[in-house]
């Protein structure tokens, strides 16, 4: 039986680790071929080697904040995969801090990777994906892009910015590219440290208690939960869905 993504040629930025790696693995399982583009070329190469038993996967080193690097990564990915019809703009930095304290370098880094990087990758692939047709762009936002949390003003601003681009590109690139965002919630297997939970005891115990007290579905999400949504959005099952921003957060944000 064919996979749900047979014939899909996908680039996953930030695919060396975390959610991006889970997406790359899920895409391979559904028979897409995959490029992971990551600033850490060595880890990306290791991830590609680890996942290569499941299908065709290449690693390309790329800093998404660089116009030159995103353009050359796009050209190489299109060449190696024979075209690209799925782009997952997943590379991102986490970072918290009170507005009165967050240092300028952190503000610049968050804006550069989470917002400019997403825009540059969209720009690098847009024409080729539009010309190919039946293409899909997925932009990784966050529940922090939709709702306010203390210490996430800058991170939240970048993720809300991604949603603004997402809405505009869904219209601009129609009818040839569907453009959707995913808003992950609290991921159990990655991202514990930046919540300030590390060093407070057993991370999974703290996480599970937090989930029971704060999340309607009473559990943290996993990277695979996000990957499953990324598979659905890249598949023809989502052929009528564009301009959406899908919450995968157990009900914390419900719009
Ligand atoms: N983990 C969470 O709880 C959570 C929640 C909501 C949203 N998100 C978003 O999901 C995405 C993935 O998060 P994660 O938790 O898997 O992060 P992670 O830190 O585990 O992985 C991020 C990957 O991006 C790469 N990267 C960082 N800067 C880069 C750059 N300039 N160019 C190219 N690659 C770069 C890193 O090397 C790494 O491989 C991010 O956009 C993040 O904001 C995560």
Do 147 and 214 lie in one domain? The reply is no
What is the rounded CA–CA span in Å between residue 59 and residue 47?
Answer: 8
Total domains present in the chain: 2
Three-state secondary structure call for residue 205: helix
Do 212 and 181 lie in one domain? The reply is no
The per-residue pLDDT for range 224-249, each reduced to its tens digit, is 999 999 999 999 999 999 999 999 99
2: in domain: no
Do 89 and 206 lie in one domain? The reply is no
Do 163 and 195 lie in one domain? The reply is no
**Structure tokens given for 76:** 């190489």
Q: Is 27 a catalytic residue?
A: no
What is the rounded CA–CA span in Å between residue 148 and residue 210?
Answer: 18
On the question of pLDDT at 202 being above 80, the answer is no
Do 159 and 211 lie in one domain? The reply is no
The per-residue pLDDT for range 79-93, each reduced to its tens digit, is 999 999 999 999 999
Ligand 1 in contact with 64 (CB < 6 A)? yes
What is the rounded CA–CA span in Å between residue 140 and residue 180?
Answer: 9
Q: Specify the pTM.
A: 0.97
Domain that holds residue 93: 9-185+222-248
Question: Atom 32 (ligand 1): residue with closest C-alpha?
Answer: 63
CA of 206 to the centre of ligand 1 (A): 22
Do 120 and 199 lie in one domain? The reply is no
Ligand 1 in contact with 14 (CB < 6 A)? yes
* Per-residue pLDDT, 204: 76
The per-residue pLDDT for range 126-168, each reduced to its tens digit, is 999 999 999 999 999 999 999 999 999 999 999 999 999 999 9
Q: Cβ of 239: how many Cβ atoms within 10 Å?
A: 10
Question: Atom 29 (ligand 1): residue with closest C-alpha?
Answer: 39
CA of 17 to the centre of ligand 1 (A): 8
């Amino acid at each position: 039986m064919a996979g749900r993504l047979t014939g899909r040629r996908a680039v996953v930025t930030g695919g060396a680790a975390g959610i991006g790696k889970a997406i790359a693995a899920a895409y391979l399982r559904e028979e897409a071929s995959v490029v992971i583009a990551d600033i850490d070329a060595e880890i990306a190469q290791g991830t590609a080697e680890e996942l290569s038993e499941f299908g065709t996967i290449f690693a390309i080193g790329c800093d998404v904040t660089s116009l030159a690097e995103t353009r050359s990564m796009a050209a190489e990915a299109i060449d190696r995969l024979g075209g690209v019809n799925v782009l997952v703009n997943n590379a991102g930095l986490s970072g918290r801090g009170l507005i009165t304290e967050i240092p300028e370098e952190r503000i610049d880094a968050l804006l550069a990777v989470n917002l400019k990087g997403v825009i540059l990758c969209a720009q690098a692939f847009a024409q080729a994906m539009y010309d190919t047709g039946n293409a899909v762009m997925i932009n990784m936002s966050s529940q922090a892009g939709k709702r306010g949390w203390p210490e996430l003003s800058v991170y939240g601003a970048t993720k809300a910015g991604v949603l603004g681009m997402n809405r505009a590109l869904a219209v601009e690139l129609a009818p040839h590219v569907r453009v959707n965002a995913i808003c992950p919630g609290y991921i159990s297997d990655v991202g514990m440290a930046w919540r300030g939970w590390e060093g407070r005891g057993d991370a999974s115990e703290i996480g599970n208690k937090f989930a029971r007290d704060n999340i309607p579905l009473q559990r943290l999400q996993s990277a695979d939960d996000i990957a499953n949504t990324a598979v659905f959005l890249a598949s023809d099952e989502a052929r009528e869905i564009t301009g959406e921003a899908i919450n995968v957060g157990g009900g914390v944000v419900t719009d």
